[in-house]
Chain A
Amino acid sequence: MSHLIEIRDLYKIYAQSAEPVHALDGVSVSIDKGEFVAIMGASGSGKSTMLNILGCLDTPTSGTYLLDGVEVAGRSRKELAHIRNGKLGFVFQNFNLLPRTTAIENVELPDLYMGRLTRRARRRRALELLKRVGLGGRGTHTPAQLSGGQQQRVAIARALMNKPPVLFADEPTGNLDTKSSIEIMELFTELSKEGITIVMVTHEDDIAAYATRHLLMKDGHLVSDDGRTAAP
């Protein structure tokens, strides 16, 4: 039985400066369907690099990455875009909603690039998702008319648009107050229970507490994994 995400001996080396930086120094880990994983670590530990590579936004220098049993490393930019579009959802610290664009249109965006649904079906799904994240009546609001917590909910609805098996979140509560943070994490917990795999980067312990598995990174190494024993 293969894992949903499986990386082996992943290296990411930045060679711009005189001394090459090993952002990832031989990381191996596998994540199964339905897990809610928090990647933790100090800044510069390589956790963001790890998330970017897992999210197919960045490519590793060496190593293998199987996503849903398919090799991802070495794919073209176009193929990676298709993978991101169909299999991955993203939630960012600063929400990254299109400005001056309504919540509905923001949520619809991933399907515009996929083009699977009819206009009407796309709109219906976007409205459903907005209702799902608790923004049923806010579909026509633009980001400027929404609070930070509401904007992040729109971003989550957008990430779910194409029904991806995996959701990646990079410090999803980093720009939110405590109350909004708790609401977002409760939403993540619900989604996780529905079977969506969530991989989240955070440096806050109380946020990480919502996850069911915790990976701790330091200097490009995976130093602790409470789900399994980490590779040395």
Chain B
Amino acid sequence: MSIAMIFKVAVLAIFRNKTRSLLTCLGIIFGIAAVIAVLAIGKGASAMMVAEISQMGNNLVMVFPERRPAGAVHQGLGGGQNMTAEDVLAIKNELSHLIAYASPQVNAASQLMYQNKNWSTRVQGVSTEFPDIKNWTLRDGRFFSEQEERRAARVCVIGTSVANNLFGDEDAVGKTMRINNMAFKVVGLLNSKGANNWGDDQDDTVMAPYTTVSRVLQGSSFKSINMMNLSLHDMNDLDEAKREISALLRQRHKLADYQDDDFETRDTTEIMNTIGSVTGLMTVLLTVVAAISLLVGGIGIMNIMLVSVTERIKEIGLRMAIGATPFMILAQFLLEAIVLATVGGLLGVALGVGVARLIGAIKHWPIVIEVSSALFSFGFSAFVGVFFGFYPAYRASKLNPIDCLRYE
């Protein structure tokens, strides 16, 4: 008798007891479904976090002037005055093989005014490359030009929150508003990004040429900037980029070997790593839960198969009497268990995907269903079938035909 025949016999036996077969599968079905659904939601959540982090900027590296104690006053990050827009230009020119975009950033807390409405926010003085670094896109109008940047024109681009608060339903682009009592022309309106991971409203912002902000709003004679935003071609070059940026800045700032850096770099990989470790922990926990649920499902299968062997003992005796070898009996019951487990696994994957989609739709959560986790669950359920199906099948194959036929 070929394996195909034994398979057929096993499938026929399963279909002869549809209700019991389904009940046997249930443990596996729910176990796999729970794993698939929770994994889909978990992966979706971490994908969303990663997406939000990358929204902060494209391959972003930030360089801050060193917080350097000035007398007794300890200044915050970006409080140093030793970094200039020329540093940014130098990095962009000399490290163009690593750096795609570079923008200095000068911040100025400012009071905005349009007609009778007031709004206070932070004006970011940046370069024309800033939108490419931070993934800002325009809803209306344009970003300021390089020419406007060079001549420190009084133009600005505003976020949606500022537009709502100052302009209401009015079209902001083309209007003139006052920043710290100086007239600025609004040339563009940014697309909304919403709140960032820390709950700050990213749309509550005004962007103007850094030249303008530095000269007009800060009124500073220094050319110092608060930070520089750099965008790498490739995040794999991160270590090399940090090394070269550091070397170049040390050279430009004329630091001797014994002196510490007077700047500090930050990048999003640190945050990504944290998320990665959280996700990793979650995956381990889910795997444990999955293993337990499948163990329970497997025990269910073994239980039913043992009952089935006892219940069908006459059938076993008859099959042996008409010529089934012990191996064929073993194969039949083992295949029954495997078919039950894998069919349960398939139904479980389908149910899990369905439940994940449903929860995602109701709660508006992103869902990421990985083919690998579905395949793994399916494969594991087959293994559960083999593992927990073997003992009952082995017992069946060891039975004596006479005892089976006489069994009452």
Q: What is A's interface to B at a CB cutoff of 8 Å? A: 52, 55, 57-58, 77-78, 81-82, 84-86, 90, 92, 96, 98-101, 105, 109-110, 112-115, 158-159, 162
Give complex CA distance A115, B9 in Å. 13
Determine if A115 and B322 form an interchain contact, defined as CB atoms under 8 angstroms apart: no
A57-B401, A77-B325 known; 7 new pairs, CB 8 Å cut-off, are A52-B402, A81-B324, A81-B326, A81-B328, A84-B322, A86-B323, A113-B324
Given known contacts A98-B315, A98-B318, A113 and B323 CB-to-CB distance under 8 angstroms = yes
Interface presence of B74 (CB below 8 A): no
Give complex CA distance A52, B321 in Å. 10
Give complex CA distance A115, B8 in Å. 13
Determine if B405 and A78 form an interchain contact, defined as CB atoms under 8 angstroms apart: no
Interface presence of B12 (CB below 8 A): yes
Give complex CA distance A187, B6 in Å. 32
**Lowest 3 A-B CB distances belong to which pairs?**
A85-B323, A81-B325, A113-B323
Residues on B with beta carbons closer than 8 Å to the beta carbon of A113: 1, 319, 322-325, 328
Determine if A110 and B322 form an interchain contact, defined as CB atoms under 8 angstroms apart: yes
Determine if B1 and A96 form an interchain contact, defined as CB atoms under 8 angstroms apart: no
**Which interface residue of A90, A112, A115, A162 has the most chain B CB atoms within 10 A?**
A112
Q: Nearest CB to that of A85 among chain B residues? A: B323
Given known contacts A52-B402, A57-B401, A114 and B323 CB-to-CB distance under 8 angstroms = yes
Given known contacts A78-B325, A81-B324, A90-B322, A112 and B5 CB-to-CB distance under 8 angstroms = yes
Give complex CA distance A113, B320 in Å. 10
B62 to chain A, nearest CB (A): 73
Interface presence of B67 (CB below 8 A): no
Contact size range, B: 20 to 34
Determine if A84 and B323 form an interchain contact, defined as CB atoms under 8 angstroms apart: yes
Residues on A with beta carbons closer than 8 Å to the beta carbon of B16: 98-101
Within 8 A of A (CB), among B285-341: 314-315, 317-328
- Could you pull out 29 A-B pairs where Cβ atoms are within 8 angstroms? A57-B320, A57-B321, A77-B326, A78-B326, A81-B324, A81-B325, A81-B328, A82-B323, A82-B325, A84-B322, A84-B323, A85-B323, A85-B324, A90-B321, A92-B318, A96-B321, A98-B315, A100-B16, A105-B12, A109-B322, A110-B322, A110-B323, A113-B319, A113-B328, A114-B1, A115-B2, A115-B5, A158-B322, A159-B322
Within 8 A of A (CB), among B1-41: 1-2, 5, 8-9, 12, 16
Chain B window 369-408, contacts with chain A (Cβ cutoff 8 Å), 1 for yes, 0 for no: 0000000000000000000000000000000111001000
Give complex CA distance A92, B321 in Å. 10
Give complex CA distance A58, B404 in Å. 12
Give complex CA distance A98, B319 in Å. 9
Give complex CA distance A84, B1 in Å. 14
Q: What is B's interface to A at a CB cutoff of 8 Å? A: 1-2, 5, 8-9, 12, 16, 314-315, 317-328, 400-402, 405
Determine if A57 and B405 form an interchain contact, defined as CB atoms under 8 angstroms apart: yes
Determine if B1 and A115 form an interchain contact, defined as CB atoms under 8 angstroms apart: yes
Residues on A with beta carbons closer than 8 Å to the beta carbon of B405: 57, 92, 96
Residues on A with beta carbons closer than 8 Å to the beta carbon of B8: 112
Give complex CA distance A77, B327 in Å. 10
Residues on B with beta carbons closer than 8 Å to the beta carbon of A84: 320-323
A44 to chain B, nearest CB (A): 14
Determine if A81 and B402 form an interchain contact, defined as CB atoms under 8 angstroms apart: no
Residues on A with beta carbons closer than 8 Å to the beta carbon of B2: 115
Residues on B with beta carbons closer than 8 Å to the beta carbon of A98: 16, 315, 318
A6 to chain B, nearest CB (A): 22
**Which interface residue of A78, A82, A96 has the most chain B CB atoms within 10 A?**
A96
Determine if B402 and A112 form an interchain contact, defined as CB atoms under 8 angstroms apart: no
Q: Nearest CB to that of B4 among chain A residues? A: A115
**Which interface residue of B9, B317, B322, B324 has the most chain A CB atoms within 10 A?**
B322
Give complex CA distance A74, B286 in Å. 54
Give complex CA distance A82, B400 in Å. 15
**Which interface residue of A52, A81, A98 has the most chain B CB atoms within 10 A?**
A81
Q: Which listed residue, B5, B317, B320, touches A81 by the CB 8 Å rule?
A: B320
Q: Nearest CB to that of B322 among chain A residues? A: A110
Give complex CA distance A57, B323 in Å. 10
Q: Nearest CB to that of A142 among chain B residues? A: B16
B231 to chain A, nearest CB (A): 68
Q: Which listed residue, B1, B325, B326, touches A112 by the CB 8 Å rule?
A: B1
Q: Nearest CB to that of A158 among chain B residues? A: B322
Determine if A96 and B9 form an interchain contact, defined as CB atoms under 8 angstroms apart: no
Give complex CA distance A112, B205 in Å. 79
Q: Nearest CB to that of A112 among chain B residues? A: B5
Give complex CA distance A84, B320 in Å. 8
Residues on A with beta carbons closer than 8 Å to the beta carbon of B315: 98
Give complex CA distance A109, B328 in Å. 13
Residues on A with beta carbons closer than 8 Å to the beta carbon of B326: 77-78, 81
Given known contacts A52-B402, A114-B323, A96 and B318 CB-to-CB distance under 8 angstroms = yes
Residues on A with beta carbons closer than 8 Å to the beta carbon of B402: 52, 57-58
Residues on B with beta carbons closer than 8 Å to the beta carbon of A58: 400, 402
Residues on A with beta carbons closer than 8 Å to the beta carbon of B328: 81, 113
A145 to chain B, nearest CB (A): 15
Residues on B with beta carbons closer than 8 Å to the beta carbon of A85: 322-324
Q: Nearest CB to that of A114 among chain B residues? A: B323
